[in-house]
Amino acid sequence: MMNNTADKFILLSLRLITYAIVLVIGYILFDIIKNGASALNWQFVSSFPRRSGAEGGIYPAIVGTLYLVVGTIAVSLPLGIGGAIYLAEYADQGRFNSLIRLAIVTLAGVPSIVFGLFGLGIFVLFCGFGPSILAGSLTLACMVLPTIIVASEESLRAVPKGFRDASLALGATKWEMIRTNILPYSLSGMITGSILGIGRAAGETAPILLTVAAFYLPRLPKSVFDQVMALPYHLYILATQHPEADRIRHMQYGTALILLLLVLGLSLGAILIRTHFRKKYRW
């Protein structure tokens, strides 16, 4: 009787916590959509900013954010998946590799501003890239790399051991076994975890603050060594640093809504890819 009462209390507590979280997030989304929708129009998303962002649109910030996302994917995805394959399939399960895994998990929890300082020191100053798309993309890639490695390794380990044993028993090499019997079945989880990590990078402000972002830059970049505007940094400045912050509230909400739609688009892409591969490969 006591156990049943305790279980009911715990269930009710967890349910209330979950509902409270959903309500808070729902209110934030509702507020952004309600106030941001009035600012959205073709001119807002396709024109350049004027008067330090107080008028005009956010086209350069949208393009800059997409450049950073593409650069982050190009760097972090092959490195993260490659590292996960090594740790899951090739590395000895000894103390040294346990330490490596612990270091990767620890890096995933490091505050993003630390990665920004790291990118400033290594890519901007030491490598001489300066504040640029290249330095910003490399910094964001370093930030999401631990998330991609952890998600990919867990997805690889979820494939049943029998798949590996059967493939090797038929004479396949180690790489043939991984390529034909492991990767196809783990690809959905790997890509899902990776895109969700990259979605986080699209909304980060601190790492790009020191490595690439410019607040007001009414032109598009011509190379990877140019600075760009980015939606998270643009929103941060409009909301906290702009002298007309109260008057341009609609611009802040409009920028927040575009950023939200961009991140939701990445998440939707991850869901579609996961659904496709789950239907294609079942075990």
User: What distance in Å separates the CA atoms of residue 158 and residue 171, rounded to the nearest whole number?
Assistant: 23
Residue 6 is predicted with a pLDDT of 83
What are the C-alpha distances in Å from 112 to residues 105, 147, 201? Answer: 14, 13, 9
Contact partners, residue 7, CB within 8 Å, separation at least 6: none
What region, left, alpha or beta, does residue 7 occupy, with left being phi > 0 and alpha being psi -120 to 50 degrees? alpha
Q: Quick one: which of 128, 131, 138, 136 has its CA closest to 79?
A: 138
Tell me the pTM: 0.85
Residue 2 is predicted with a pLDDT of 59
Residue 1 is predicted with a pLDDT of 57
Residue 283 is predicted with a pLDDT of 62
Residue 212 is predicted with a pLDDT of 87
User: Angle between the 133-157 and 112-119 helix axes, to the nearest 10 degrees?
Assistant: 130
**Residue-by-residue DSSP string for 72-129:** HHHHHHHHHHHHHHIIIIIS--SHHHHHHHHHHHHHHTS-HHHHHHHHIIIIIIIS--
Residue 218 is predicted with a pLDDT of 77
What are the C-alpha distances in Å from 91 to residues 97, 145, 259, 275? Answer: 7, 18, 39, 30
- Give the pLDDT of the chain (283 residues) as one tens digit per residue: 556 788 888 999 999 999 999 999 999 989 888 888 888 888 888 888 887 777 788 888 899 999 998 999 899 989 999 999 998 888 887 788 888 888 888 888 888 889 989 999 999 999 999 899 999 999 999 999 988 898 888 888 888 888 888 888 888 888 888 888 888 888 888 887 777 777 777 888 888 888 988 888 878 888 889 888 888 888 888 888 777 777 788 888 888 999 889 888 888 887 787 788 777 766 6
Helix (H, G, I), strand (E, B) or coil at 39: helix
